[in-house]
């Protein structure tokens, strides 16, 4: 999952440089390490490796890998916070890149139609036709970096930069569950009907979260995702 932090409770301890991770205190018992450099698979592989390392720490209550970041939550407030941060940074520096062996998930999509409410704006921003936007979206191969925001929602890496679309400053008030969306350099599928600041370009009927299942979320970090154009209505 991904934890949304309160900016007022977040205090930067170690600032980022081009090669050094940023570490911030989240309250008194948690520290957020953010990988330096680009939002890419190489950084995420090191975050996955870091997660494996810190799971062995007896004083840690939980570690939550996110999008090129990791939240380390301690059982108790560290007596020496500087030492805890130094240990976390050392673990990051020593982390060897690993890859998670996940499954491949194919998601049929109805591109265009009534749910593609933001496709015209994306075309205007990119200068591409609606057919080109759809093609670039479904021809890409995506990796699940992390889950969060809503039950089963996967943050996917692999979006073609030509169809980058910033998140809305004013969210849609009632975007439908199943909408296929783009937010910045990420794409995903809405898990719930409600307010949403991402941009919808289509719709998927595949059920990706079943609370009654032993494994409720279809997606998991490391999975590969492909969007299949089941129907194109432009």
Residue 177 has a pLDDT of 96
pLDDT of residue 3: 44
Question: Domain 7-94 class?
Answer: alpha beta
Q: What pLDDT was estimated at residue 38?
A: 80
Output the 3-class SS for 49-112. Answer: HHHHHHCCCCCEEEEEECCCEEEEEECCCCCCHHHHHHHHHHHHHHCCCCCCCCCEEEEEEEEE
pLDDT in tens, 105-130: 999 999 999 999 999 999 999 999 99
For the chain, the domains span 7-94, 104-233
* SS3 state of residue 93: helix
For 49, the 3-state DSSP assignment is helix
And the tokens for 9?
């409770």
Residues of the chain scoring pLDDT < 50: 1-8
pLDDT at 39: 83
The residue written with tokens 């007022």 in the block is 8
Side-chain-side CA neighbours of 37 within 13 Å: the count stands at 11
Q: What is the pLDDT of residue 11?
A: 75
Fold for the domain defined by 104-233: Cyclophilin (2.40.100)
Token pair belonging to 187? 């794409």
Please check whether residue 141 is in contact with residue 205, taking contact to mean a CB–CB distance below 8 angstroms.
no
Both structure tokens of 143 = 């990796």
């Amino acid at each position: 999952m991904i934890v949304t932090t309160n900016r007022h409770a977040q205090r930067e301890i170690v600032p980022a440089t081009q090669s050094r991770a940023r570490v911030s205190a989240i309250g008194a018992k948690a520290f957020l390490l953010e990988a330096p450099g680009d939002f890419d698979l190489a950084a995420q592989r090191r975050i996955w490796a870091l997660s494996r390392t810190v799971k062995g720490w007896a004083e840690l209550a939980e570690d939550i890998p996110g999008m090129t970041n990791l939240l380390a939550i301690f059982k108790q407030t560290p007596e020496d916070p500087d030492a805890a941060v130094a240990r976390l940074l050392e673990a990051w520096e020593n982390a060897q890149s690993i890859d998670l062996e996940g499954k491949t998930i194919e998601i049929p999509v109805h591109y265009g139609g009534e749910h593609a409410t933001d496709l015209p704006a994306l075309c205007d921003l990119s200068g591409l036709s609606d057919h080109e936007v759809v093609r670039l979206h479904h021809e890409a191969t995506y990796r699940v970096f992390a889950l969060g925001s809503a039950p089963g929602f996967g943050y996917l890496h692999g979006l073609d930069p030509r169809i980058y679309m910033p998140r809305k400053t004013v969210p849609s008030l009632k975007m439908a569950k199943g909408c296929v969306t783009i937010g910045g350099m990420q794409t995903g599928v809405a898990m719930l009907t409600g307010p949403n600041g991402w941009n919808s370009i289509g719709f998927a009927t595949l059920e990706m979260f079943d609370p009654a299942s032993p494994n409720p979320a279809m997606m998991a970090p490391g999975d590969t995702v492909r969007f299949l154009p089941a129907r194109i209505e432009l």
